[in-house]
Amino acid sequence: MKRIIFIAFVISLSQEVFGQDNTYNIMPLPQSIKPNGQKVRVTALFTVAVIGNPGQRVYAEASRALRRLDQRVGFFFKQGFITAKDYSLKASLLIDVKRPAELKLNEDESYQLTITDRQIKISALTDFGVIRGLETLLQMLSVDASGYYFPGAEIQDFPRFPWRGLLLDVCLHWMPMDVVKRTLDGMAAVKMNVFHFHFSEDQAFRVESKVFPKLTELGAEGDYYTQEDVKEMIAYASQRGIRVVPEIDVPGHATAMIKAYPELASIPREYELQRYYGVFDPSLDVTKEYTYEFLDKLFGEMAQLFPDEYFHIGGDENTGKNWENSPSIREYMRKNNIKNAHDLQTEFNKRLLPMLTKYGKKVMGWDEILQPGVPKDIIIQSWQGGNPYYESLKKGYTSLLSSGYYIDLIQPADYHYLVDPAPEDATITDEQRKLILGGEATMWTEHTTTETVDSRIWPRTAAIAERLWSSQNVRDVEDMYRRLDIISLRLEELGSTHIKNKSMLMRRLANGYNTEALEVLVDVIEPLKIYQRNQGDTMYTVFSPYTKLADVATPDQRVAREFRKHVSQYVKSKDKTLEKNILDHLLLWKGNHSEFLKLIQQSPTLQEAEILSENLARIAQVGIDAIGFINGKQIPQSWHKESQLILQEAKQQGGRCDLQVTTAIDELVNAVKN
């Protein structure tokens, strides 16, 4: 054991000194990689050519890939924007494509990438295959003492699932076009292919309607996408092989629509946009013809604006309370023998479906739209997972999993990574298995602004992208994290602010340039997970400052994660190199508290973090003592009891964050023999 750890250490150190071979650092991992031992040097003479029958996407994406490559290697390549005139069978990178892709579900995305010392070749049926292959190639760029190279290999690759999505909610917080574009860039880098555009909510309606202009005039407070913006977004996504699926969430989560057009309301009164987060009672009056006329016109307009064949109608979390409280709706239900809100929503869905079919759309919605009598050609997106998900499959509905992929909940990447849309042990038939389209990560933006959204999406979503693309048996968590740390830098280069904004947020929070003591703390804390951050849904509104400790802190802290790993290895091996590394951290944390107290003097906002800093220093001392005892120092009688108490106290939150190294210290304490 000791030997293996030692070798691993030497390898990781030598990688830092002598470079890095990225043959196996790809994310998502391809279906098959066969290295051939060759190395293709990247020189200033590197060229790209396209043969076959490409669409315009291929030239634009090949040109973008060439720029991304020169940005990394620093050569002044001769080629600018690649066109058909660059045709040459001798190019360093030859792209061979059979036909342009169609932007639709189940389009072929497979490719073959061959890297030999004669040439790099990407062969694909469609330009989407080329685009996926280019991402793989860029990720393989490696370096050694002689410079940059591509490691020789033959790669055969194709996605496990055809639907690999990311939902971006642009309502709970406004996300302007540059956020959308950099998100699309990141998605393409990890081969995701559906951007689920959630633009209608209780807090806002954010796409311009020319038919119903009040939707944004009264429902967006100035922050919305014009139809030109939407077209630009769709073109940008299409260029990267990403579909844009729009969602208009009805009949619940629709307060913004109701504020703009109160005629839609179940209870007649004036409405305001919701400022808090959660589930609210306002709901469309689905018993009025006006509502159907309105939706018919709105869907008709939006169906034209969004070319994708799928249209998402939401359908989630309609409480039904405003229906029960409306005398006219109660009367309608009585007359039509509709027993409850559930059945009324079924009636509503049954009328929406032909409406959208008329506009050439297939319908999808959340679990709740799955009710008796709903036609089989809809897609159910399961945010609930478990039984509702499997019931949907068992009833024969094409389904998509989002439960387990809620990245807004700050859970670690390994949790999401191990959630499988089609687990091997699921008790479903082969036919039912075939109905599984894939999954979607969901980025709800309650507590997320333009400054923090990237750190909530990336790099964790890359792990979900791998689950949805790579073979089911790619499940090694440690290897995933190793590659995730590498891909994180690649995502940053593409424009994601998930690393750099953290420094800015820390400077603001520390009220100056000196953020050292804050950084030491932030490296070992995470925001409270699931829905604990927002107690009772009443701590935050859309106007709250999302610039505090819990916003600076990010999920899946690398320093804490590495520390926990090292401690687990150390308690088994008692390896001295690991021990020194652990002690260095413990001494840093112990000494940090006095520095942190000085920082609070100039940044009162940080007072809420004092308890965390103090507890970190206390558990660090416990860890230092534990290592002393492991090494044979005399153990005081009451030490075990006292250290348990300190560890217990260190579990409390501060600034809506908690420490991520208490379990590791606990492990050290447990390694001390009584």
Minimum distance from residue 383 beta carbon to ligand ACM (Å): 4
If DSSP codes are grouped into helix, strand and coil, which group holds residue 32? strand
Minimum distance from residue 407 beta carbon to ligand ACM (Å): 12
With beta carbons less than 8 A apart as the criterion, state whether 179 and 450 touch. Answer: yes
Beta bridge partners of 47: none
Q: Which residue's CB is nearer to ligand ACM, number 128 or number 383?
A: 383
Diameter of the chain by CA atoms? 83
Beta bridge partners of 142: 149
Q: Which residue's CB is nearer to ligand ACM, number 383 or number 481?
A: 383
DSSP letter assigned to residue 101: P
Phi then psi for residue 643, to 5 deg, are -65, -35
Cα–Cα distance, 54 to 390 (Å, whole number): 40
Cα–Cα distance, 49 to 69 (Å, whole number): 15
If DSSP codes are grouped into helix, strand and coil, which group holds residue 332? helix
With beta carbons less than 8 A apart as the criterion, state whether 459 and 484 touch. Answer: yes
DSSP 387-431: HHHHHHHHTT-EEEE-TT-BGGG---HHHHHT--SS-TT----HH
Which tokens go with 16?
């830092």
Minimum distance from residue 315 beta carbon to ligand ACM (Å): 9
HSE on the CB side for 334, CA within 13 Å?
7
With beta carbons less than 8 A apart as the criterion, state whether 635 and 629 touch. Answer: yes
If DSSP codes are grouped into helix, strand and coil, which group holds residue 422? coil
Minimum distance from residue 402 beta carbon to ligand ACM (Å): 7
Minimum distance from residue 364 beta carbon to ligand ACM (Å): 12
Minimum distance from residue 317 beta carbon to ligand ACM (Å): 5
Rounded to the nearest 10 degrees, the angle between the axes of helix 662-671 and helix 558-573 is 10
End-to-end CA distance of the chain: 25
251: cis peptide before it, omega within 30°?
yes
With beta carbons less than 8 A apart as the criterion, state whether 47 and 92 touch. Answer: yes
Cα–Cα distance, 370 to 294 (Å, whole number): 23
Beta bridge partners of 115: 120, 153
Minimum distance from residue 166 beta carbon to ligand ACM (Å): 14
Q: What single letter denotes the amino acid at residue 339?
A: K
With beta carbons less than 8 A apart as the criterion, state whether 408 and 448 touch. Answer: yes
- Tell me, yes or no, if 595 is annotated catalytic: no
With beta carbons less than 8 A apart as the criterion, state whether 403 and 423 touch. Answer: no
Minimum distance from residue 163 beta carbon to ligand ACM (Å): 16
Q: What single letter denotes the amino acid at residue 439?
A: G
Q: Which residue's CB is nearer to ligand ACM, number 144 or number 317?
A: 317
With beta carbons less than 8 A apart as the criterion, state whether 193 and 209 touch. Answer: no
Q: List residues binding ligand ACM (CB under 6 A).
A: 316-317, 366, 383
Q: Which residue's CB is nearer to ligand ACM, number 444 or number 458?
A: 444
Out of 107, 217, 232, 317, the active site residue is: 317
Task: Give 483's contacts (C-beta < 8 A, 6+ positions apart).
Answer: 24, 25, 26, 27, 29
Q: How many CB atoms lie within 10 A of CB 358?
A: 12
Cα–Cα distance, 78 to 72 (Å, whole number): 16
Minimum distance from residue 410 beta carbon to ligand ACM (Å): 15
With beta carbons less than 8 A apart as the criterion, state whether 517 and 595 touch. Answer: yes
Q: Which of 482, 211, 249, 474 is nearest to 369 (CA)?
A: 249
Minimum distance from residue 169 beta carbon to ligand ACM (Å): 9
Cα–Cα distance, 530 to 291 (Å, whole number): 35
The residues annotated as belonging to the active site are 317
